[in-house]
Chain A
């Protein structure tokens, strides 16, 4: 039965035009992923998917939604790609022939396994370590999340022309340098999964900690990252690092509504109104954190441990009920994996909460290499304040204030350490 001959009355009802747009938005990443495998070329694939979407928008209102919109779009995009390559004059002839041949010979295979691998190929390509971190973030938003160049530019606070150039450069490097669309070999897979997790988390923190973006933009970025985290867990189930990544993001994101007061000022964890935490998200985060730890081998994944620490906060009914010795214990595990000064600083902050303020200050002051780090000075200010040394606290806070671009953080410091 041809789609064009389908009885519109029997086709699934389409709430126009949002219903169509929604189907296209949902299917875009999969269709693009499959086309990228078929053409081996992201540019060709993106253009073809765009054109197939336009054809769908013109066709579907007449014919009704095809039984398998995804397959319909992949086949349509494939044909558009072949037509386009035939017309194209700038691409070297050999390359054009190779892509066309690959497209014509590829069987139309829409099985779950093939489609799943296509998405993984695209993810591992966008998060390839030979691409600069900011290029990985931009590509992920554009290619994996399907945002427009203008949207990506707006979310990452970059002029649209700059973002377009950054994306073109990244695509150019993928093509010219020979970053191949493939799932890494078994030997490389664990390390590459860690790199993908780091890249997605960078996207998440870009939203969570962004200094000048509006609240709405920050939230959208974080939500795109959480969506990618869910996709990764669905595509590669049973991986400690990916469960840990998703758990960490869910737990942090569950506190989004309590992190800022009405004036836009930062509210510290201890002072947050826990009634405003998203309990459902936090509960899922705790479950996934436990799963990430359970899935970990002898050496736990970093994200699993970070998630466990976030889970300790989520499990406390209020700040005073926080099990700080459990948090210090998790930091001890984290230090084994990553004894960087920042991790040691966070551990010292947890030690302070167990009541050992003097010890914590000693540990903070023993750290070197953090002289230019906002949180080192901010932590010193807090510990000095607690030890009844307000003049030194105020001096440390002044240094911290000079190290942050966040007006909210500066207001907080001025208020707390006069």
Chain B
């Protein structure tokens, strides 16, 4: 069966903000409805969290980072990887080995954790502020 990538273009919103909970629920519903054909995917944090990675001077060259999304329009989106890394440093290290990093640029953007919300996190109100004293 052929594979397809559905790239989602929308206003640059912060999906983690409470006002998008409704739309996120719609995505959740879509995810369930289309579960038989979805192989992977992610909602992304908004573009201010992006880091653009370039390698100058060809493979193995200097890794040059810039804060923000990939802004030039000369190149087109030609592929993507979903990476699981411990932190941004590791993601940058991996991104700098993608050939696109020296033949273009690679934008690294964090993906929103998409686990279902639990209600096990009932807070403990009434935990009153108490004066802190420290024994020494």
Verify B120–A93 contact, CB threshold 8 A: yes
B136 on interface, CB distance cutoff 8 Å: yes
The complex places the Cα of A310 from the Cα of B50 at a distance, in Å, of 39
A256 on interface, CB distance cutoff 8 Å: no
Verify B123–A76 contact, CB threshold 8 A: no
Query: Size range of the interface on A?
Result: 35 or more
Q: A337 contacts which chain B residues (CB < 8 A)?
A: none
Verify B124–A86 contact, CB threshold 8 A: yes
The minimal Cβ–Cβ distance linking A48 to chain B, given in whole angstroms, is 11
Q: B135 contacts which chain A residues (CB < 8 A)?
A: 1-3
Within 8 A of B (CB), among A330-348: none
Verify B67–A3 contact, CB threshold 8 A: no
Verify B92–A130 contact, CB threshold 8 A: yes
The complex places the Cα of A257 from the Cα of B89 at a distance, in Å, of 42
Q: Which of A10-18, A64-72, A375-383 lies at the interface with chain B?
A: A64-72
Q: A180 contacts which chain B residues (CB < 8 A)?
A: 86-89
Verify B118–A93 contact, CB threshold 8 A: yes
Q: B131 contacts which chain A residues (CB < 8 A)?
A: 55, 59
Q: A83-B127, A177-B45 are in contact. Are A130 and B65 (CB under 8 A)?
A: yes
The minimal Cβ–Cβ distance linking A299 to chain B, given in whole angstroms, is 15
Q: Mark B125-136, 1 if CB is under 8 A from A, else 0.
A: 101011111111
Residue of A nearest to B127 (CB): A86
B24 on interface, CB distance cutoff 8 Å: no
A176 on interface, CB distance cutoff 8 Å: yes
Verify A88–B92 contact, CB threshold 8 A: no
Verify B134–A71 contact, CB threshold 8 A: yes
Verify B136–A55 contact, CB threshold 8 A: no
In terms of DSSP, what is the predominant structure of the interface of chain A?
Answer: helix
Q: B108 contacts which chain A residues (CB < 8 A)?
A: 177
Total number of A-B contacts with CB less than 8 angstroms? Answer: 101
Residue of B nearest to A56 (CB): B132
The complex places the Cα of A80 from the Cα of B85 at a distance, in Å, of 32
B40 on interface, CB distance cutoff 8 Å: no
The minimal Cβ–Cβ distance linking B30 to chain A, given in whole angstroms, is 22
Verify B132–A179 contact, CB threshold 8 A: no
Residue of A nearest to B108 (CB): A177
Q: A59-B131, A97-B121 are in contact. Are A67 and B136 (CB under 8 A)?
A: yes
Q: A129 contacts which chain B residues (CB < 8 A)?
A: 65
Within 8 A of A (CB), among B77-126: 85-89, 91-92, 108-110, 115, 117-118, 120-121, 123-125
When the two chains form the complex, which single residue of A66, A88, A169 contacts B123, counting CB atoms closer than 8 Å?
A88
The minimal Cβ–Cβ distance linking A135 to chain B, given in whole angstroms, is 7
When the two chains form the complex, which single residue of A79, A135, A178 contacts B88, counting CB atoms closer than 8 Å?
A178
Q: A88 contacts which chain B residues (CB < 8 A)?
A: 123
The minimal Cβ–Cβ distance linking B51 to chain A, given in whole angstroms, is 4
The complex places the Cα of A309 from the Cα of B131 at a distance, in Å, of 56
Within 8 A of B (CB), among A78-121: 79-80, 83, 86-90, 92-94, 96-97
When the two chains form the complex, which single residue of A1, A80, A130, A173 contacts B132, counting CB atoms closer than 8 Å?
A80
The minimal Cβ–Cβ distance linking A213 to chain B, given in whole angstroms, is 24
The complex places the Cα of A184 from the Cα of B132 at a distance, in Å, of 35
Verify A179–B88 contact, CB threshold 8 A: yes
Verify A188–B89 contact, CB threshold 8 A: yes
When the two chains form the complex, which single residue of A52, A86, A93, A173 contacts B49, counting CB atoms closer than 8 Å?
A173
Q: A93-B121, A132-B67, A176-B45 are in contact. Are A66 and B87 (CB under 8 A)?
A: no
B18 on interface, CB distance cutoff 8 Å: yes
B48 on interface, CB distance cutoff 8 Å: yes
The minimal Cβ–Cβ distance linking B18 to chain A, given in whole angstroms, is 7
Verify A184–B89 contact, CB threshold 8 A: yes
The complex places the Cα of A79 from the Cα of B129 at a distance, in Å, of 10
The complex places the Cα of A132 from the Cα of B51 at a distance, in Å, of 10
The complex places the Cα of A92 from the Cα of B130 at a distance, in Å, of 25
Verify B136–A1 contact, CB threshold 8 A: yes
The minimal Cβ–Cβ distance linking B106 to chain A, given in whole angstroms, is 13
Verify A90–B18 contact, CB threshold 8 A: yes
When the two chains form the complex, which single residue of B117, B118, B134 contacts A76, counting CB atoms closer than 8 Å?
B134
When the two chains form the complex, which single residue of B67, B85, B133 contacts A130, counting CB atoms closer than 8 Å?
B67
When the two chains form the complex, which single residue of B66, B67, B118, B136 contacts A68, counting CB atoms closer than 8 Å?
B136
Interface, chain B (partner A; CB < 8 A): 16, 18, 45, 48-51, 65-68, 85-89, 91-92, 108-110, 115, 117-118, 120-121, 123-125, 127, 129-136
7 tightest CB-CB pairs across the interface, nearest first? A93-B121, A132-B67, A180-B87, A130-B51, A176-B49, A76-B132, A176-B45
| Sampled A-B contacts (6; CB under 8 Å) | A55-B132, A66-B136, A169-B48, A173-B67, A176-B16, A184-B89
> A93-B117, A94-B118, A172-B48 are known contacts; what are 8 more A-B pairs with Cβ within 8 Å?
A90-B18, A96-B121, A131-B67, A132-B67, A177-B49, A177-B51, A178-B87, A178-B91
